[in-house]
Structure 1
Amino acid sequence: MRRLIVSILVLLMPGAVVVSSQGRAVMPTSAHEFSFQSIDGSPLPLAQYAGKAVLVVNTASMCGYTPQYADLEALWQRYRDRGLVVLGVPSNDFGGQEPGSAEQIKDFCEVNFAIDFPLTEKQIVIGPKAHPFYQWAASELGQEARPRWNFHKYLVGPDGKLAGWFPTATSPQSSQVVKAVEAALDQPAVTLPPK
């Protein structure tokens, strides 16, 4: 019976529940428990960023906020050597403003904004089919912190905990974002336990 309940939970909330080795459902406690696919199709586990701050941003190529790509790249260049990772998560959820293929999105970002920070494959970021990271972030921070448009930002601390969120209109170069990034970068480094 317990396995049936765990199986039902996993089906209803894919990725929002982790199944322990004892077959128990366990809610994730860290962003490091999630994984994306890179825009090139290779695995992109967030665990590889343990000890770094990660700014996770749902992006779109045909949005009024698309120029934020330039600010995201500038933030990445400014803080990457101190341990910041900017992670772009293309999404077509808002206004159908990211209709392209992975190759088209990557080309657009490289040609128009010289983006070299990591990008994921296109993802759903809202609703019941949202990527598990986005489901978890909404459950951790509350529904008011879920994306309402393109270029919503979540800041993950080096420990994998959510350190904050910023709505679409908040520029990646704003003092609010910069102060939060610097505070996250000043956190002590963490090491994941061996598996």
Structure 2
Amino acid sequence: MLEGFYVSSVSYPNESTPWPESNQWRWNLANSTFFVDWAEPTYSYLGLEGENKPFPESYQPIYLNEKDKWVYFVINANFTQTSPGKLPVPLDHPIHLHGHDFVVLAQVTHQQFNAATPIKYDLDNPMRRDTAVLPGGGFLVIAFETKNPGAWLIHCHLAFHSSTGFALQFIERESEILEQFSGRQAKLYHEQCQQWRKDWKTNPANAGIRDSGA
């Protein structure tokens, strides 16, 4: 599996607004700005509190359901702009993955990724990291093996970039995720979520929250 993500600074709340004319911006790592409902964590959509529910687009789920398979991702910081509100910005970003170490197969500066263009991949004992720099104006190629069922966030390790949407989540081996919870753990999770939702309704931070939840 090979998939590409395009890092962009995006007009907010409407990406059809030309980027220079927007008075606010967010970050995209894939199709949408990552933003979750603080009262609805990922595992509530995966069925830990009942039936599975479809994720909203802003939760940005990438499903990895094959067991023990290598998956490969190209993260682009340099691309041809196709939307007036999405702008490639030539900044370095530390890319951090939860739940795995990944291997760094390529870090390329000042070049767009093109599958038809030869790239020198590091295949001889490549670096293994949980964080690697995406070069500004270039791209990063990483890979990992699907050996750890769970919902794993990948995001920019600059906190204010993550809080404005620079993230997505890998839903890895979805059918096995809940098998890792005992009945007692599921019960505690459910009780904690119910208490959190009750408290969240009266929390002043609830009004107009801007943080992505990453």
TM-score category, normalised to shorter length:
under 0.3
- The structure carrying a bigger strand percent of its residues is 2
Give the TM-score normalised by structure 1.
0.28
- The structure carrying a bigger helix percent of its residues is 1
